[in-house]
Amino acid sequence: MDAGLLQRVCCGDLEAMDFLAKHWSPYVHAIDDIIDGDKDDAEHILSTFALAAVLYGHPFYLKHMPALQRLVLVITNAYADSVAWEKSEAPWQRDWADHNRHVGMEMVIAVAQICGGYDHARKVSREQRSICWHEHHAPNGEAV
């Protein structure tokens, strides 16, 4: 996420910006690399565990832990379903998996809501879903 978008999402809250950009984003991308088999070496896996320890001790996370911890579990569950269904024989399951493989962006929307309220989260939500779609699909709509 570019700096301007990050600042807008977080309403300029430096702690929230640090949480998303320096901790949440690298963590979920590291997990995705493990799941996709792109990085299966022990060093990467262990460094991902270390990222988790720092992420879940971050001041922004700790301040909002009751909400964010539940969200992490919901995101993890949805991501697990997307991984399970991405190669399903059922077309609707593959389609669902494609739409939900970037469910980690729900954290961005939640942080926007914490920082700027519901109306702000609504604006961020549509923008984030559009960004995720375009970053994960070719112009013809095929998943990349």
In this structure, is residue 144 part of a structural domain? no
Q: With bands split at pLDDT 50, 70 and 90, how would you rate the model's confidence at 48?
A: very high
Please give the pLDDT value at position 86: 94
> For the chain, how big is the Rg over CA atoms in Å?
16
d(CA 79, CA 102): 8
Helices 106-135 + 65-85 axis angle, to 10: 30
Residue 137 pLDDT more than 90?
no
Domain extent, residue 67, equals 3-135
Q: For residue 143, is it within any domain?
A: no
Is residue 37 domain-resident?
yes
Q: What is the pLDDT of residues 19-36, one digit of tens each?
A: 999 999 999 999 999 998
| Rounded Cα distance, 138 and 143, in Å | 6
> How high does pLDDT run on average in the chain?
94
Is 34 contained in some domain? yes
pTM of the model: 0.92
**In a domain? residue 140:** no
Domain count, the chain: 1
Give the HSE-up count for residue 101: Cα atoms under 13 Å, Cβ half-sphere: 22
Least confident of 42-51, 63-72, 100-109, 130-139: 130-139
What's the confidence (pLDDT) of residue 80? 97
